[in-house]
Structure 1
Amino acid sequence: MNCIELRNVVKRYGNVTALNNVSFAIECGERVALLGPNGAGKSTTLKLIVGLLKPDSGEVLVKGLEPISIQARRIIGYLPEDASPYLMLTVRENLEYIASLRGVDNVKERVNKFLELLALKPYERNRVMSLSRGNRQKLSLALALIHDPEILLLDEPLNYLDIPTQERIISLFNSMTNATILVSTHIMSIAGRLANKVIILSGGQVVWQGNISDLRKFGEENEPVESIVARLMESVR
């Protein structure tokens, strides 16, 4: 079954076409990287899937439902690129509030789990406005995960995080064996750590999609995957 499907999607911002006839499908349980340079349409794609935007034409489906449906919204966890938790609330208050809105059972137990998991326990009584960018990012990740979503949409999830924290987050995602994950990034090495399939966007179009390992078929022996991707993206400019 497809958990995410885009059919001939077009999205414009005024005279700018952000997505131009984009189609792809992601089966439930797959881990897919949405790869491309800045401005390729990655964030727009995620916002369409989560229901924050509507396509100008085409169709976006989440398990066969419109993204704005209550059923679809319940099963999605979303981390935007510039996530903004409630700045005047504390870390714990943010987590407890969102967990309650999401209908999480045993809210305090769930909140405590993520405070420990993401090393936020020392900051639980701090207002978000006082946190570093890295700790805000960790809180935003916890907010996306607090309700144990079936589908996880991640826009540059490792931004602002130091290397040890990145490794901890990658291990966390890789432990979520039943979740469908779509991660947007412009860094090939991150794509390779978090996904085994890739959809490459450039100029609002799908350049290539398939297994990451198959990308090497398009390059010379020992050529870095990053340069192969760059050449594919260049082909539609």
Structure 2
Amino acid sequence: MLSVTNLVKTYGKQNAVNDISFELQGGEVVGLLGPNGAGKSTTMKCIVGLLRKTSGEITLGGHDHLSVEAKRLFSYIPETPYVYDLLTVQEHMQFVAQAYGVKEWREKADEYLELFELADKKDKLGRDLSKGMRQKVSICCALLPDPQVLFFDEPMIGLDPKAIKNTKKIFKQLKEAGKTILVSTHLIDSVESIADRIMILKDGNIVGNDTVANLKRQFVQGEGTTLEDLFLEMTKDE
């Protein structure tokens, strides 16, 4: 569903992303982990077209990632949720529905708003929402067009425990429906329970790309190793 080949993103003389390649299949949840500055957000922003890649090839569903055909296939939830100050929560949903040509959207929108405890906030303006509420609105808007691929950049930041639980539940439902999900996060524990596969970035390079069990067998000796232990081992300075 997603193919990234020899992706390079350079700032000046520094490679933020250093010639990385990977693929994501349908029905797969992949966790993208790495220390600050490893290139996680840069990689995701290059894929969705918010940053111009220096070189490489990115396709979604066989289409170039910057094409309209590709953009119809995915939703992106940024680390810092952006909402329109003068649109209500309900109007955000309506705007997305009209932009993507979603028919009969109201019932679906109401389900998502109910799930994230925003049903009583439908008439609240974007400028009056807390960061957590903005994040919830951002997720609801991303889910409404029923995309094939979802990119979540730090989706759990700012969410309360119940919303985190509901987000994980949605990940599971999306996976069962054959959707492809890439989740970038610092919250290692939250991704271990939902990801089929982990990609670990360090200094713009992929240093691990496999199931948690396989990565543990490859890189760590001993029983009782957590994903956090594995992450620290694989990203430590030499």
Unmatched 5+ stretches in structure 2: none
Check whether the contact 2:150–2:182 (CA below 8 A) recurs between aligned residues: yes
Q: Residue 191 of structure 1 aligns with which residue?
A: 191
1:111 Cα deviation after fit: 2.0
Distance 1:225 1:15, change over 3 A: same
Q: Residue 236 of structure 2 aligns with which residue?
A: 234
Which stretch shows the higher mean deviation, 90-99 or 43-52? 43-52
Q: What amino acid is aligned across from residue 202 of structure 1 in structure 2?
A: K
Which stretch shows the higher mean deviation, 222-231 or 93-102? 222-231
In 1, the alpha carbon distance for the partners of 2:6 and 2:141 equals 31
Matched, 1:10 2:12: no
Which stretch shows the higher mean deviation, 196-205 or 42-51? 42-51
Q: Residue 162 of structure 2 aligns with which residue?
A: 164
Q: Secondary structure at the match of 2:69?
A: helix
Cα offsets for 1:4-38 (capped at 9, x unmatched): 11111110123332100111111122111111112
Check whether the contact 2:6–2:55 (CA below 8 A) recurs between aligned residues: yes
Unmatched 5+ stretches in structure 1: none
Map 1:65-214; keep pairs closer than 5 Å: 65-176=63-174, 177=176, 178-214=178-214
1:163 Cα deviation after fit: 1.0
Report how many aligned residue pairs link the two structures: 234
Pick the aligned partner of 1:221 from 220, 223, 233.
223
Q: What amino acid is aligned across from residue 198 of structure 1 in structure 2?
A: I
Q: Secondary structure at the match of 1:37?
A: coil
Check whether the contact 2:105–2:144 (CA below 8 A) recurs between aligned residues: no
- Percent sequence identity over matched residues? 37
1:80 Cα deviation after fit: 0.7
Check whether the contact 1:100–1:107 (CA below 8 A) recurs between aligned residues: no
Check whether the contact 1:95–1:143 (CA below 8 A) recurs between aligned residues: yes
Which stretch shows the higher mean deviation, 23-32 or 146-155? 23-32
Check whether the contact 1:6–1:25 (CA below 8 A) recurs between aligned residues: yes
In 2, the alpha carbon distance for the partners of 1:223 and 1:110 equals 41
In 1, the alpha carbon distance for the partners of 2:129 and 2:188 equals 29
1:108 Cα deviation after fit: 2.1
In 1, the alpha carbon distance for the partners of 2:233 and 2:209 equals 14
Q: What amino acid is aligned across from residue 216 of structure 1 in structure 2?
A: K
